[in-house]
Amino acid sequence: MYFPISSILIEYLVLSIIEKQDSYGYEISQTIKIAANIKESTLYPILKKLEKAGFLTTYSQRYQGRNRKYYAITAKGKAQTAYLKQEWQEYKAVLDGIIEGRIRK
């Protein structure tokens, strides 16, 4: 995609992905890469930040003979996701209004 993506939007995408189903870093990064060209070195600090804020928890699960770290959303994370969804809807409506010519100063 052509448009740059902010770290807060990446946070929203991460929370939205994990809200639907627990996931691990590589899977999350590959899903986000559909919309934005991010590197794992960008994603993991965001995951750590979300975990430290209490939005995510982690657990390990065996996969092909080794442990894989999974991320799960917390109740606080679900509340944050709902808040960010509302913010995104408002932001998107303003952008669409400007692009479509409905909003003008």
* Within a domain: 36: yes
Residue 44 has a pLDDT of: 95
- The domain total for the chain is 1
* Domain housing 28: 7-100
* Within a domain: 42: yes
* Within a domain: 105: no
Look at phi and psi of residue 6 and say left if phi exceeds 0, alpha if psi is from -120 to 50, else beta.
beta
pTM of the model: 0.91
Kind and range of the H or E run holding 71? strand 66-73
pLDDT tens for the 105 residues of the chain, in order? 678 889 999 999 999 999 999 999 999 999 999 998 888 888 999 999 999 999 999 999 998 989 999 999 999 999 999 999 999 999 999 999 999 999 998
* Within a domain: 2: no
Do the beta carbons of residue 11 and residue 50 sit within 8 Å?
yes
- Give the CATH number, domain containing residue 29: 1.10.10.10
* Within a domain: 33: yes
